[in-house]
A and B are shown apart, each in its own frame.
Chain A
Amino acid sequence: MSKGTISRRDFLARSGGVFGAAWLGANFPAIAAAATEASRVASGEVEENFGFFSTVDAALIDAICSRIIPSEGEGPGAREAKVVVFIDRSMTGFMKSGADGFVDGLATFRKAFADANPQEPSFANAEIGVQDKFFATQVDSGFFGTVRFLTHLGMFALPSYGGNFQKKGWELVGFEDRHVFQPPFGYYDRDYPGFEAVAAKYRKES
């Protein structure tokens, strides 16, 4: 098997950090943030049918995922692919053993944003520039590693897992969902003359 530069071990090691983290408890700014996130749910911007997360938490996760794969620019982002639905389902599925840690990490994220931005109603409702400025301070956290990984899983896993809605993740990366292909597969193998011809050309030149 191929050896990636970042192993599953690395991912899980980071995840272990967040899953083991203890949330110190909500305070007023965090509660206020949760309340404003709820307004986004009420407005219908976020999928409401969640089995694990509250709609308030779902709104925050959706906002976080949208900074990892933004909707801005060409092509769909995590929001369009409904990655938050994938993450919600994963918490009662393959991520079940890490669900409590994820919830703790989410709460810590919410509190940290509220502490750093007391003037803002919530991360989910903040301007993108504000979100990105705060997000840049979180990239070394275990929670960031976990949620980034889950965002990519939800973007590109089979739609049956809840994300990759209407195969929008595959649309973003140009992945064709087919079981059979024939050459040419890409731009550079068109009109390939055969190995012997190529080898003969180079060996003749040398």
Chain B
Amino acid sequence: MPGMSYKISEEVDFVVVGSGAAGGVIARELSQAGHSVVVMERGPHLRQGDFHHDELAYWFNDEITKLESSPPQSFRKSPGEKASSWGFQSMLYAQCVGGSSVHFTANYWRFHPVDFHEHSLHGDIPGAALADWPITYEELEPYYTKVEWEIGVSGLAGAHPNEPFRSKPYPMPPLPVKSSGVLFEKGAFELGLNPFPAPMAINSVPYDGRAACVHCGFCIGFGCEMGAKSSTLFNMIPQAEATGVCEIRTGANVVRVETNQKGRATGVMYYDMQGEQHLQKAKAVVLSANGAETSRLLLLSENNHFKDGLANSSGMVGKHIMFNGGGTAGAFFEHPLNEYKSVQVTRICHDFYDTDPKRGFYGGGGIDGRVMFGPIAYAAFAGIPGEPGWGNSNKARLQQYPNFMYSSTHCTSLPVETNAVALDHENLDIYGLPGIELTYRDHPDDLATTRFLVDRAAEILEASGANKVWKNPVYEQSFTAHLLGTCRMGNDAATSVVDKYHRTHDVPNLFICDGSSLVTSGRGQPTETIQALAFRAAEHISRFAKNGEI
């Protein structure tokens, strides 16, 4: 019974804030378990037919990543600086039903077992707050499998000799290899590495009532008009609605979690599309609004009982934001690759995943062969550093577009306490509430890891037979689509925000599950892990509810 609508005055079992990668999963799991659920989503409910191939709109004009009601953002590199704010969003996320699972690239890497206990392996890292997770890979493995089968992931199990344990293969074969994949694979094999087909949350064949990819190429930054991208928009959300007990309430801008004198959450305050304020009452609240918005909401919810923000007795809300490091090497080849066709990545390499103390720094990562998507992005951003950006050489560069590919690196970001999201009281949203101030500077080891991986990426491209290879400079990052670690999990209430079941240490009926829950950053591509956590969290939250433990 899609279209369920609760009366605003009605108390439901759960209100879930955010309908993205995590919120969509939690909404479906809780509603299928029989709980009444209202999902609060700031953005609209777009459908397949609403998406289109407009690079200017999606990449440069915030087609689905900014709303009038979005909080303004400001950025600075260190706490001593004044944050600047001039309209640009340092933190990019889609604001519509399905959240960033609508516009993601759909790289679905499982974290490796090592990701969960690196503090035990490497000890303290100066300038960072590296910690072990309160759970292990083995505990999460069944939920990774659940993601792959219920969200829909294409891949080839066993293709990598050191692949972490998995209990089932992928439900779909890998997507067809592209020229970038063939060349990346060749270069990596020539160097004695172990490239393998990229796991992607895109249908390689019809699956679960959704169409197979038609290889239009418009994945990264776009919504999929075929429904072949495994966004929660196309799977979890309609399945949640079909239970008849879940309402997706769009245009709902949540600005506060309300609590009573006992310190329990009573619901969320939100503005509707008309600017009217309402309280949605709930027996329990789940925040899945992403690593920036969840923290902002907790900080906005301060009151006499929670003076530093809700669930923030540790002072850790908003702290330790991790982006994942990244760099690129580029190459031109003799013949056309036509990389604008089909999905962005078809081959990856995890040979440098683990930290190797012999390198002299913490960190590791993965490397892929990929495209710098569309002609505008290529024209604006790609090319050999130092060459003139105009004239005949520029025209010649543009004409090399079909012969171009990147090798992109994705790596660890250390949790640094001063890297944080906080309230920006000088930049207010349309309701007069503080925006988001982001403070971020890459840890030196993150930059060293990125440089190391860019060197390896360039070697792979050289070994693949490219005509020309170059390494792009590695800069300190000021922009991200990965918002990780700002309400980290942990067993110690003094150093973490949620416990291993995603229940906040301070408020027994308030749960958080999204990128903010991550303790470490993995090596990029965090969405599969976020969703595995969401499946696991929902299972436990439902159990708590049924046992009267909330």
B326 touches A3 (CB 8 A): yes
Q: Taking the complex as formed, is B377 at the interface, i.e. its CB lies under 8 A from any CB of chain A? A: yes
Given contacts A69-B394, A185-B342, A188-B333, contact A155 B189 (CB under 8 A): no
A192 touches B88 (CB 8 A): no
Nearest-neighbour CB distance to chain A for B461, whole angstroms, equals 13
CB interface residues, A 98-116, toward B, < 8 Å: none
Q: Taking the complex as formed, is B402 at the interface, i.e. its CB lies under 8 A from any CB of chain A? A: yes
Q: Which residue of A lies closest to B400 (CB)?
A: A173
**CB neighbours of A202 from chain B (8 A):** 189-190
Mark A136-173 against chain B: 1 for CB-CB distance below 8 A, else 0.
Answer: 10010000000011001101111001000000011011
Contact of A186 among B337, B372, B377, B406 (CB under 8 A): B337
Mark B70-82 against chain A: 1 for CB-CB distance below 8 A, else 0.
Answer: 0000000000000
Q: Which residue of A lies closest to B93 (CB)?
A: A1
A175 touches B391 (CB 8 A): no
Q: Taking the complex as formed, is B309 at the interface, i.e. its CB lies under 8 A from any CB of chain A? A: no
Q: Taking the complex as formed, is B376 at the interface, i.e. its CB lies under 8 A from any CB of chain A? A: yes
B478 touches A68 (CB 8 A): no
A2 touches B479 (CB 8 A): no
Q: Taking the complex as formed, is A120 at the interface, i.e. its CB lies under 8 A from any CB of chain B? A: no
B382 touches A4 (CB 8 A): yes
B221 touches A1 (CB 8 A): yes
Contact of B401 among A5, A175, A185, A199 (CB under 8 A): A175
Q: Which residue of B lies closest to A78 (CB)?
A: B395
B88 touches A9 (CB 8 A): yes
Nearest-neighbour CB distance to chain B for A76, whole angstroms, equals 10
Contact of B220 among A2, A7, A173, A198 (CB under 8 A): A2
Q: Taking the complex as formed, is A53 at the interface, i.e. its CB lies under 8 A from any CB of chain B? A: no
A153 touches B56 (CB 8 A): yes
Q: Taking the complex as formed, is A12 at the interface, i.e. its CB lies under 8 A from any CB of chain B? A: yes
**CB neighbours of A187 from chain B (8 A):** 179, 335-337
Mark B59-99 against chain A: 1 for CB-CB distance below 8 A, else 0.
Answer: 01100000000000000000000000011101010000000
Q: Taking the complex as formed, is A121 at the interface, i.e. its CB lies under 8 A from any CB of chain B? A: no
Q: Taking the complex as formed, is A72 at the interface, i.e. its CB lies under 8 A from any CB of chain B? A: yes
Nearest-neighbour CB distance to chain B for A149, whole angstroms, equals 6
Query: Which interface class (under 10, 10 to 19, 20 to 34, 35 or more) fits B?
Result: 35 or more
CB interface residues, B 30-74, toward A, < 8 Å: 53-56, 60-61
Q: Taking the complex as formed, is A29 at the interface, i.e. its CB lies under 8 A from any CB of chain B? A: no
Nearest-neighbour CB distance to chain B for A174, whole angstroms, equals 4
Q: Taking the complex as formed, is B206 at the interface, i.e. its CB lies under 8 A from any CB of chain A? A: no
Given contacts A12-B86, A195-B196, contact A153 B381 (CB under 8 A): no
A8 touches B88 (CB 8 A): yes
Contact of A173 among B60, B176, B375, B481 (CB under 8 A): B375
A181 touches B342 (CB 8 A): yes
Q: How far is the CA of A7 from the CA of B159 in the complex (A)?
A: 34
A2 touches B395 (CB 8 A): no
B401 touches A174 (CB 8 A): yes
Contact of B402 among A67, A132, A173 (CB under 8 A): A173
**CB neighbours of A182 from chain B (8 A):** 215
Q: How far is the CA of A118 from the CA of B398 in the complex (A)?
A: 34
Q: Which residue of A lies closest to B401 (CB)?
A: A173
Nearest-neighbour CB distance to chain A for B448, whole angstroms, equals 17
Contact of B408 among A2, A8, A132, A175 (CB under 8 A): A2
Q: How far is the CA of A98 from the CA of B167 in the complex (A)?
A: 55
Q: Taking the complex as formed, is B445 at the interface, i.e. its CB lies under 8 A from any CB of chain A? A: no
A174 touches B402 (CB 8 A): yes
**CB neighbours of A158 from chain B (8 A):** 53-56
A132 touches B391 (CB 8 A): yes
Nearest-neighbour CB distance to chain A for B154, whole angstroms, equals 13
Given contacts A174-B402, A186-B336, contact A153 B376 (CB under 8 A): yes
B391 touches A156 (CB 8 A): no
**CB neighbours of B217 from chain A (8 A):** 181
A156 touches B220 (CB 8 A): no
**CB neighbours of A8 from chain B (8 A):** 60, 88, 479
Contact of A188 among B53, B86, B337, B478 (CB under 8 A): B337
Query: Most chain-B CB neighbours within 10 Å: which of A181, A182, A206?
Result: A181
Mark A182-206 against chain B: 1 for CB-CB distance below 8 A, else 0.
Answer: 1111111100100100110010001
A75 touches B395 (CB 8 A): yes
**CB neighbours of B342 from chain A (8 A):** 181, 183, 185
A195 touches B177 (CB 8 A): yes
Q: Taking the complex as formed, is A28 at the interface, i.e. its CB lies under 8 A from any CB of chain B? A: no
B340 touches A12 (CB 8 A): no
A185 touches B215 (CB 8 A): yes
Q: Taking the complex as formed, is B227 at the interface, i.e. its CB lies under 8 A from any CB of chain A? A: no
Contact of B388 among A6, A139, A152, A157 (CB under 8 A): A139
**CB neighbours of A155 from chain B (8 A):** 375, 379, 398
CB interface residues, B 390-413, toward A, < 8 Å: 390-392, 394-396, 398-399, 401-402, 406, 408
Nearest-neighbour CB distance to chain B for A205, whole angstroms, equals 9
Q: Taking the complex as formed, is B192 at the interface, i.e. its CB lies under 8 A from any CB of chain A? A: yes
Q: How far is the CA of A190 from the CA of B197 in the complex (A)?
A: 17
B399 touches A183 (CB 8 A): no
Q: Taking the complex as formed, is A135 at the interface, i.e. its CB lies under 8 A from any CB of chain B? A: yes
Q: Which residue of A lies closest to B215 (CB)?
A: A181
Q: How far is the CA of A67 from the CA of B402 in the complex (A)?
A: 23
Q: Taking the complex as formed, is B355 at the interface, i.e. its CB lies under 8 A from any CB of chain A? A: no
Between A and B, 28 residue pairs with Cβ closer than 8 Å are A1-B220, A3-B326, A7-B478, A8-B88, A9-B88, A11-B380, A12-B86, A67-B391, A69-B395, A69-B398, A73-B392, A73-B396, A135-B391, A148-B389, A148-B390, A152-B376, A155-B398, A157-B55, A174-B399, A175-B401, A178-B216, A181-B342, A183-B177, A186-B335, A186-B339, A188-B337, A198-B185, A199-B189
Known: A139-B388, A158-B53, A170-B375. 10 other contacts (CB 8 A): A1-B105, A68-B391, A68-B394, A73-B392, A75-B395, A136-B388, A156-B376, A172-B399, A188-B337, A189-B179
Question: Which residues of B are interface residues toward A (Cβ below 8 A)?
Answer: 53-56, 60-61, 86-88, 90, 92, 104-105, 156, 159, 174, 176-179, 181-183, 185-186, 189-190, 192, 196-197, 214-217, 220-221, 326-328, 333, 335-342, 344, 370, 372-382, 385, 388-392, 394-396, 398-399, 401-402, 406, 408, 472-473, 475, 477-479, 481
